[in-house]
Structure 1
Amino acid sequence: MDITHKVSNSINIIQLGGRFDAHEVAPVVAWLKGHAEAGKVNLVVNLAGVNFIDSTALSTLVQGLKHCREKNGELHLCCMQQPVRVIFELTRLDKAFSIYTSEEEATAFQA
């Protein structure tokens, strides 16, 4: 999996590419946990390059959302490919997350 990090509008963003599955979650868990513990609780996960997501990866994102909300923050998702979007819809996680079509929309909230 390809992972890049950046900051836009004072929002920390992680961009993922490839398969996001049980074998690839460790760096994402570390990134989410590290930012939440540092008090940077408004985060964006850009899934533009993700073509497959499994239940472990979904659980990782749910835990990240939980940690952000516990500290009055938010975890936004953006740029999902259709196969990944279908998984979120089937699991009804599209109701739990704020999902945006672009990174610009996802970073528009206040830091």
Structure 2
Amino acid sequence: MKYFALLITLFFIGFNQQTSHLNGRYQYFIEEDGAYIQKDKITFKDSVFAFDNKYLPKGKISYGNVILLDNFINTDLIISIQKDQITEDTIPFLMHDKNSSSANYLDETVGKGRLVRIK
């Protein structure tokens, strides 16, 4: 009987845990001159993402204290998202250029935007 109770407890713990991965479809908006302009739609699945526009390459997602989307629109652009934001329906992000003049390109922001979940 105690094994049955343990099994049920583990079963409910498994369902109550929240994922720390990006999954689903989002529209992304880039801020230009104080206004957000809608661009394309993105589909996230664990550690990869793909744009609906077939001409843009697929990208990789790195999970850590800050989530990084590598190869976002071109190979030099990286997106950073705060880990605590991924459970929200609207996720703010910052854009960074790998070819920036600073020693750590994540310290220099070249733009920002938002990801909005499509339901």
Same fold by TM (over 0.5)? no
What's the TM-score once normalised by structure 2's chain length? 0.28
TM-score (norm 1): 0.29
Higher strand fraction: Structure 1 or Structure 2?
2
Higher RCO structure, 1 or 2 (CA under 8 Å, sep 6+) = 1
Structure 1 or 2: more helix by fraction: 1
Larger Rg: 2
